[in-house]
Amino acid sequence: MTTPTPAATVLSGLDTVRPWLEDLYRHLHAHPELSMDEHETAARVVSEVRAMAGGEELEIITGIAGTGVAVVVRGGEGPTVLLRADMDGLPVQEATGLDYASTVWTQNRQGESVPVMHACGHDTHVATLLAALRLMLERRDAWSGTLVAVFQPAEEQYNGAEAMVADGLVDRLPRPDVALGQHVLPGPAGSVQVAPGPIMASCDDFRITMRGRGGHGSTPHQTLDPVVMAASLVLRLQTIVSRQVDPRATAVVTVGRISGGTKTNIIPDTAVLEGTVRTYDAEVAATCLAAIERAARAEAAAWGAPEPDVETFDHLPVTDNDRGVTDRVRAALAAELGEDAVRVFEPESGSEDFGVLPDAWGVPYSYWGFGGFDAAEWAAAEEAGTTDDLPSNHSALFAPVLQPTLDTGVRAMVAAAMEWLGR
Amino acid sequence: MTTPTPAATVLSGLDTVRPWLEDLYRHLHAHPELSMDEHETAARVVSEVRAMAGGEELEIITGIAGTGVAVVVRGGEGPTVLLRADMDGLPVQEATGLDYASTVWTQNRQGESVPVMHACGHDTHVATLLAALRLMLERRDAWSGTLVAVFQPAEEQYNGAEAMVADGLVDRLPRPDVALGQHVLPGPAGSVQVAPGPIMASCDDFRITMRGRGGHGSTPHQTLDPVVMAASLVLRLQTIVSRQVDPRATAVVTVGRISGGTKTNIIPDTAVLEGTVRTYDAEVAATCLAAIERAARAEAAAWGAPEPDVETFDHLPVTDNDRGVTDRVRAALAAELGEDAVRVFEPESGSEDFGVLPDAWGVPYSYWGFGGFDAAEWAAAEEAGTTDDLPSNHSALFAPVLQPTLDTGVRAMVAAAMEWLGR
Amino acid sequence: MTTPTPAATVLSGLDTVRPWLEDLYRHLHAHPELSMDEHETAARVVSEVRAMAGGEELEIITGIAGTGVAVVVRGGEGPTVLLRADMDGLPVQEATGLDYASTVWTQNRQGESVPVMHACGHDTHVATLLAALRLMLERRDAWSGTLVAVFQPAEEQYNGAEAMVADGLVDRLPRPDVALGQHVLPGPAGSVQVAPGPIMASCDDFRITMRGRGGHGSTPHQTLDPVVMAASLVLRLQTIVSRQVDPRATAVVTVGRISGGTKTNIIPDTAVLEGTVRTYDAEVAATCLAAIERAARAEAAAWGAPEPDVETFDHLPVTDNDRGVTDRVRAALAAELGEDAVRVFEPESGSEDFGVLPDAWGVPYSYWGFGGFDAAEWAAAEEAGTTDDLPSNHSALFAPVLQPTLDTGVRAMVAAAMEWLGR
Amino acid sequence: MTTPTPAATVLSGLDTVRPWLEDLYRHLHAHPELSMDEHETAARVVSEVRAMAGGEELEIITGIAGTGVAVVVRGGEGPTVLLRADMDGLPVQEATGLDYASTVWTQNRQGESVPVMHACGHDTHVATLLAALRLMLERRDAWSGTLVAVFQPAEEQYNGAEAMVADGLVDRLPRPDVALGQHVLPGPAGSVQVAPGPIMASCDDFRITMRGRGGHGSTPHQTLDPVVMAASLVLRLQTIVSRQVDPRATAVVTVGRISGGTKTNIIPDTAVLEGTVRTYDAEVAATCLAAIERAARAEAAAWGAPEPDVETFDHLPVTDNDRGVTDRVRAALAAELGEDAVRVFEPESGSEDFGVLPDAWGVPYSYWGFGGFDAAEWAAAEEAGTTDDLPSNHSALFAPVLQPTLDTGVRAMVAAAMEWLGR
């Protein structure tokens, strides 16, 4: 007879809470809210936490950056572990046909009526973190230390974590020793994806407005042609990745939008480029952004044109998993889920603002994925090389299978947290 | 005592018709119509011609290309001379403050409500051609031959003359020996502008759709980036004028519009360039258009991308005044208006579809300008070097002074026509 | 009976001097000298002038800019006319097979042994100017005023006229009222080519050294790649003619040489562009040169690279014939040679430093061409459209037919000079 | 008491052979030979092998690709292991000041007299492989299997291994089960550098000749300007790495040389680009090469120019260490040299043709480095971050410290070989 691990002790209650977990998830899925508008979700988080606390006076901090919620459970001596879930949905019209599919429409910030869907699975994050919290509250005998559960707004807009930090997060919460987060992703339900180092790219969006001087298309010499400026600049931006960044580093400089002029024969006053920089290294990102600005200013100088406007926005750091923390997370997940269930998290060019929270304190973190697809369907797709064709995050058809997705999310979160807190 | 010239004989009636001419002009100015919508104008032309014909059965051909009108006056042996006026206004809201200013709004082809103004002075063309016709009908003793007056729709859209040709112009009218046309332009009222050779540029508009394959901005290698294609193509198009056209020729290749993508991080499927080619030589234009198409196809080939769409439209030939015809026109105008009133028509990069009519028969033509500005105001502006600041054609403030603008237009048209028809 | 014109009076001696003229020409042709090395030619000029002066003490100024010679003949009241011939040959190995062909080899400035040939016909200029001078000295009764004959070095290097100006030309010679020059050109012998306005292009050569930082080809991020800089700059230079110069102006910006690096995998420190700007308008040339410099500096700035070296050299102004002077020259040539012999000088993209001399005083000038090809051969080539295939100036086969080329050059120069000096 | 490992048994003779090893090395260092000219070196290899064989008739195959030598030692049952050393020096004038420095000058293939130096340390490779062979021959009791020692010419020219394969290597030698090679590199003497996977880049050099049509710089429209073509192509090549290659892959496309034209005003007929492609993945290299060719052909097509010449040469595959083999090598080296002595081989953008040999049979391999710098000096440089300033391979100052460099090379080679052969 073997003694169960502390994590197993906590998770022994999973069978009991599962019906509540699944109902909670379905409710959240059917009631998505847009970024910074997660009022109902936040209220539900608070009411669920109050319910699971029993009579205990838990520290529940609400209204961080509007809708953010944090729960602090002080469980005696030991490390402080921050667990994070993001809460927001997307302006996507759900097409999954699920009986708990969203039919919500709401007004966006521009006053337009838009559909809303949990198309990125943040509902699974909220539900599994609440379940992990409930299970740990039920077995406080199994752990010691401080648990901080953070429910964050507006990950999709890349500014929710930043807004929480700006709203005093560091002063309002105890300093964690480690921060943990997870995301439902393509992959077989039941599996997790873990890797140390940079796993999600940094993001820096930019907008460049080249300023020329418009005029008739037949008299170019009386103008400063911003269309040619913008075109020339797009070509020059190619030299950043090809010549100015270490070939062994990963860097992308994409111009996703170019726009100048309205018709064939009128040279416009301005032309606009909008793009994004993705890297796995802050220094590389800085190199790219400096080169972009230098290139834009040089382009104007080449024509004797006015200074361009060069704006950057939507900055997200690299999600750069600490090696030591991640090695422990990996071991804990392998112990709980089995070695076979632990896959490698392949670096993604997508971006994520989770890291902004631990970065605010300068503490290490690890972020992992858990699969949301029917395992048989996924295996067949892997066999056929068609996994890219399955409806992924942000798709109107994105629909994680209920189980073992939710169970896996709960088990992973508990196992990882207990790696630090278990006694 | 000297015998009056035949032109002077015809023009002796000008004093008498002047009040009618000015009223007619003010009416036309106050009732502008958009291109291909010149129904009221055409009806007025017909009713005026009927009135001036007295009981005579003139050949009046209506409905050529919708609103086009031609009047054929067979006046015995002799050459056939085609005189042309264009009839359409522009979607501009008049800001002249004239008491006969247009307040017209109408629906354009897209169903939008737009203001209309004779902002290019085509009302002066219609009025002066009708007056010339009236004077010549009154003094048929002074001339012999066939007079054809053409009132053309849709010059502003560059397709009215073409539409008339497509609608059987060549078969419906007698073949002219020469075609004459005029345009009110910046310059002192009372003066005309004449030059042989190419005086207005050819025009060929183009639209190029580069076809790539869209995708996420962070995975460019899975896409074919049409933004970079379009940018590269814009730069290559610069080499047409710089390297592929005789430096002594005039050629312009302008990309007036570039558009691809909607946001920073989505690589779009396509990007579009729209532009215009202006030259004074059909061969140069052909060189440019061939080079544009070759460049666009090569750009796609460089990426292994689908063939681009390369469309050309709004072709207008060079307005290339026949030297012999123009020498005679110049002499006739100098005789009627005085040598000092005849200025040099400086080649314009603007375009005009008048030449399409004589080109349909392959007959020579001459096209001249007549000034519409107060002579003192113009002289002061010339002195100050500020003539470019005066409100020119297409401006909401464009307002030819009534006189001597209208008289000059009538005198020029009669004098030129009589150069061939006078006896 | 008609009185001969003063020019005809002077030219009545042509039959007598013709044998001397032809011998002199053959001698000069067989003894070409390189630019700035025209010592024998200059000495022969001086000895011929002394011989034709008889006992008269003519003012002969030698050694202007090394080998330049000027002869001043003060002939009483009246205008001062400067006549110019250039003296230098080219490093070309003659392949004409003429019995007076050059077999000369000499050392060039770099100490290399090179062949020399009068491949541009400057020998005809020297011979005909000497003959004109001799004829005018013989009939001083026919004219009044001051005649200045200038024999200039180093036209082929574009710096002979400039060197004469730098060597005090303006102070050493009387100020002319008009300057006249001529060049043997493709065209039928017996004909001349005359036109007012800009007939030969300005020239400004440039050399741009882009300064990067070299390194191994596999680590571009540790370098500043001057090859990409140079390539990008070449493309940007295309926008000068395509966008920055009036489309109606003639301008050429050619990069004739690009050079950077030595092998596949070493990124060099620098790359060099060499090119030329040709225009018919000093302002246009200035626009181009400013744009080139701006573009080069912006290119460096885009990379954060050191400032490039931008040098210009070999400046030649437009040869811009004064209209009034040229009208008089044209009339004089037509009177002497017949109207049919006077052709239009089509503007050339080649350049010439004749204008530097009159520009030094700010006086008007005219420069014309005279044909050097057998008239029948030329007519046949014109018929066949193959005149471009005939061996032109700078060809190793360039061989003006002796007559009537020489006679025409003498008659043209005398007739033009006598337009101002004849009494 | 522990039993020595088989490797230790073999290496127990090292103390005895060390003087011979060091003398041999100094001799080789003082007598470097250029690629494909390694006649003396090959002869010395043969004579040393004969000496160490005693009376035994070893299989010595000479003259493979000219100077290549292979020694086959059949030692009974067991795996076949190929050990490789490259033999050639470089045309560098040694500046080390060592008392055994090279003073050799020789004629290169172009007949020029050039200095020669073992500036890349191949002398250490030859000496240590001979020593390893001698030690293993002395203790044939310690191992079983077949040992193949290959002494390869012309690694520096990237074609020695290829030449051996072309000269029948596969048929002339027994098929190995594994191939092993090593290179002296920057790093502390006594240490080795090991890593699985791609450790040295692939190389594909290219030469593109753009074919235009030359002419005078002032008449670009009569030419097809290859300078602009080449410049445009250089810019387009930047899009390969920036857009067409997976951002997570390493790829370099460098144009190390651009050359077209001779002077400012002559547009040349052709322009040449020479460059190199470096990757760690054959598929990425293929993508780059296909894109280069496509770009060059499209560039010509854009101008209607003749097809360009696109040549590739000097292909080297990625040196891609087999993971299984390398794990075993690493373990063996750690066992022999100590765990601390085994460093990570950081992937290099340089290239190496070792892999061509095992690739000829399709067998796995591992290639590692051994340090050549004084350990204290290296540690100080690491501390100061100045290791890049130390004289590295190909430097005229490159001078591995004699010991423990040579000992470490011998011990590493024996230990690795014995991992397969030891009993």
| The pLDDT of residue C356 is above 60 | yes
B-proximal residues of A, 369-408, CB under 8 Å? none
Residue C318, token pair as written in the block: 């437009």
From 2.30.30.30, 3.30.70.360, 3.30.565.10, 1.20.120.1760, which CATH number describes the C202-316 domain? 3.30.70.360
E strand or H helix at B328, and its extent?
helix B323-337
Largest CA distance in chain A: 90
- Chain A residue with minimal CA distance to B201? A218
Query: Is pLDDT above 80 for C2?
Result: no
DSSP string, B347-362: -BSS--STTHHHHHHT
Beta carbons of B371 and B409 less than 8 angstroms apart = no
Residue D2 has pLDDT above 70, yes or no: no
- C-alpha D102/C-alpha D32 separation (Å) is 7
Q: Could you tell me the two tokens for A384?
A: 């056929």
Look at residue B343 and tell me whether its pLDDT is greater than 90.
Answer: yes
Give yes or no for residue D3 having a pLDDT over 80.
Answer: no
Quick one: what percent of chain B has pLDDT higher than 70? 100
Beta strands (DSSP E) in A156-250 are 178-188, 192-194, 197-200, 202-211, 215-216
d(CA B26, CA B403): 12
Q: Report the distance separating Cα B265 and Cα B262, nearest Å.
A: 9
Q: Which two tokens stand for residue C78?
A: 């009246």
- Domain boundaries A6-199+319-421, corresponding CATH code: 3.40.630.10
Look over chain C and give the mean of its residue pLDDT values, rounded to a whole number.
94
Kind and range of the H or E element at C186? strand C178-188
Contact D301 B301 (CB under 8 A): yes
Q: Does A251 touch chain D (CB under 8 A)?
A: yes
Q: What pLDDT, in 10s, does the model give residues A98-138?
A: 999 999 999 988 888 899 999 999 999 999 999 999 999 99
pLDDT value for A396: 87
Known binding residue D120? Answer is yes
Residues placed in the known binding site of A for Mn(2+): 120, 122, 156, 183
Distance CA(C142)–CA(B283), nearest Å, equals: 53
- Would you tell me the crossing angle of helices D122-138 and D14-30 to the nearest 10 degrees? 150
Over residues B347-398, the pLDDT tens digits come to: 877 889 999 999 999 999 999 999 999 999 999 999 998 888 888 888 889 9
CA distance C47 to chain B (A): 45
The verdict on C301 touching A (C-beta cutoff 8 Å) is yes
Is some CB atom of chain C closer than 8 A to the CB atom of D286?
Answer: no
D233 in A contact zone (CB under 8 Å): no
Q: Give the single-character DSSP code of D390.
A: S
Q: What is the pLDDT of residue A224?
A: 95
Instruction: Give the residue-averaged pLDDT of B42-68.
Output: 94
Which residue intervals of D54-159 are DSSP H helices?
A: 122-138
Position A83 scores a pLDDT of 98
Judged against a pLDDT cut of 60, whether residue C142 lies above it is answered with: yes
Query: Which residues of chain D are within 8 Å of residue B236 when distances are taken between CB atoms?
Result: 232, 302
**Do D6-199+319-421 and D202-316 come out as alike in CATH topology?**
no
Q: Is C183 touching B (CB cutoff 8 A)?
A: no
D238 interfaces chain A, CB cutoff of 8 Å? yes
CB distance A242–D253 less than 8 Å? yes
Mean pLDDT of B17-23: 97
- The C-alpha atoms of residue A283 and residue A242 are separated, in whole angstroms, by 16
Q: Is the pLDDT of residue D263 over 90?
A: no
Q: Identify whether the C-beta of residue B158 lies closer than 8 Å to the C-beta of residue B203.
A: yes
- List pLDDT tens digits, range D191-215: 999 999 999 999 999 999 999 998 8
Q: How far apart are CA D382 and CA A297, in angstroms?
A: 38
Please, which pLDDT band fits residue D234 given cuts at 50, 70 and 90? very high
**Quick one: pLDDT at residue C103?**
95
Q: Are A344 and A159 in contact (CB under 8 A)?
A: no
Q: Which two tokens stand for residue D20?
A: 């011979």
Name the minimum distance, in Å, from the CA of A227 to any CA of chain C: 11
- Residue C12: count of CB within 10 angstroms of its CB: 14
Report the pLDDT value the prediction gives residue B262, as an integer from 0 to 100: 84
pLDDT at D376 over 60: yes
Per-residue pLDDT, D133: 98
- Whether B161 and B152 have beta carbons less than 8 Å apart is answered as yes
**What residues of D are in contact with residue A203 (Cβ under 8 Å)?**
none
H helix or E strand, kind and range, residue D301: helix D282-303
Mutation to test the D interface, candidates B240, B248, B267, B303, most D Cβ within 10 Å: B303
Q: Residues A256-290: pLDDT tens digits? A: 999 999 888 889 999 999 999 999 999 999 999 99
Please state the domain extents for chain B. Answer: 6-199+319-421, 202-316
The candidate with the shortest Cα–Cα distance to B227, out of A238, A244, A310, is A238
Given CB atoms, is C11 within the 8 Å cutoff of chain A?
Answer: no
Helix axes C226-239 and A226-239, enclosed angle (nearest 10) = 170
- Name the percent of chain B lying above pLDDT 90: 85
Q: How confident is the model at residue C350 (pLDDT cuts 50, 70, 90)?
A: confident
Q: Which pLDDT tens digit goes with each residue over A186-200? A: 999 999 999 999 999
Q: Are strands B270-279 and B251-260 parallel, antiparallel or unpaired?
A: antiparallel
pLDDT at A2: 64
Is residue C201 left, alpha or beta, with left meaning phi > 0 and alpha meaning psi from -120 to 50?
beta
What does the pLDDT look like over D379-408, one tens digit per residue?
999 999 888 888 888 888 999 999 999 999
State how far the Cα of B244 lies from the Cα of C418, in Å rounded to an integer.
45
Element housing A138 (H / E): helix A122-138
The pLDDT assigned to D66 comes to 95
**Degrees (nearest 5) of the Cα angle C67, C158, C34?**
45
Cα–Cα nearest to B176, from B61, B82, B78, B86: B82
Give bridge partners of residue A94 from the DSSP assignment.
none
Q: What's the one-letter identity of residue A200?
A: M
Angle at A80 between CA A74 and CA A85, to 5 degrees: 95
Q: Which of D252, D256, D259 is nearest residue C266 as measured by Cβ atoms?
A: D256
pLDDT at C330: 97
Q: Sort out which chain B residues have CB atoms less than 8 A from C278's CB and list them.
A: 247
Q: How confident is the model at residue C405 (pLDDT cuts 50, 70, 90)?
A: very high
Predicted local confidence at residue C56, as pLDDT: 82
Residue D156 annotated as binding site = yes
C-beta atoms of B247 and C251 within 8 A = yes
**Nearest CA to B117 among B97, B100, B128, B103?**
B103
**CB distance B265–A271 less than 8 Å?**
no
Average pLDDT for residues C2-13, to the nearest whole number?
89
Listed range (A146-150, A303-307, A388-392, C359-363) with the worst mean pLDDT: A388-392
pLDDT at C219 over 90: no
- A-chain CB neighbours of B278 within 8 Å are 217-218
Enumerate residues 6+ apart whose C-beta is below 8 A from B357.
B82, B84, B150, B152, B161, B164, B165, B169, B179, B365
pLDDT-derived band at B2 (thresholds 50, 70, 90) equals: low
What does the buried/exposed string (b/e) look like for A71-106 if buried means 16 or more CB atoms within 10 Å of the residue's CB?
Answer: bbbebeebebbbbbbbbbbbbbebbbeeebbbebee
CB spacing of D265 vs C254 below 8 angstroms: yes
pLDDT tens-digit map of A376-401: 999 999 999 888 888 888 888 999 99
CA distance C300 to C211: 8
pLDDT digits (tens, 9 = 90+) for C106-141: 998 888 889 999 999 999 999 999 999 999 999 999
The full DSSP string for C125-169 is: HHHHHHHHHHHHHHTGGGB-EEEEEEEES-TTTT-HHHHHHHTTH
CA distance C382 to D202: 60
Question: Do B360 and B85 contact (CB within 8 A), yes or no?
Answer: no
Which distant-in-sequence residues (6+ apart) come within 8 Å of B60 by Cβ?
A: B46, B49, B50, B69, B70, B71
Buried (b) or exposed (e) across D247-278, using 16+ Cβ within 10 A?
bebbbbbbbbbbbbbeebbbbbbbbbbbbbbb
Each residue's pLDDT tens digit, C166-215: 999 999 999 999 999 999 999 999 999 999 999 999 999 999 999 999 88
**Helical H runs in D304-374?**
323-337, 356-361
Per-residue pLDDT tens digits for A287-324: 999 999 999 999 999 999 999 999 999 899 999 999 99
> What does the alpha-carbon distance between residue D166 and residue D68 come to, in Å, rounded to a whole number?
12
Between residues D91 and B131, the one the model is more confident about: B131
The pLDDT tens digits for C247-261 are 989 999 999 999 999
Q: Beta-carbon neighbour count of residue C46 at 10 Å?
A: 15
Q: What is the pLDDT of residues C9-56, one digit of tens each?
A: 999 999 999 999 999 999 999 999 999 999 999 999 999 999 998 888
Whether B240 sits inside 8 A of C240 (CB atoms) is no
The pLDDT tens digits of the residues spanning B219-228 come to: 899 899 999 9
In the predicted model, is pLDDT for residue C1 greater than 70?
A: no
Structure tokens at A77: 């001596």
> Residue A118 corresponds to which amino acid?
H
Q: Tell me the two tokens of residue A249.
A: 């580093």
- B57: pLDDT strictly greater than 90: no
- In C140-281, alpha helices (H): 160-166, 169-172, 226-239
- What count of Cα atoms within 13 Å lies in the side-chain half-sphere of residue A245? 37
Of C218, C225, C304, the CB nearest to A243: C225
- What is the Cα–Cα distance from D383 to C323, expressed in whole angstroms? 79
> Do C166 and C154 meet the contact criterion of CB atoms below 8 Å apart?
no
Which residues of C201-318 form beta strands (DSSP E)?
A: 202-211, 215-216, 251-260, 266-267, 270-279, 309-316
Average pLDDT (D250-256) is: 95
The model scores a pTM over 0.90: no
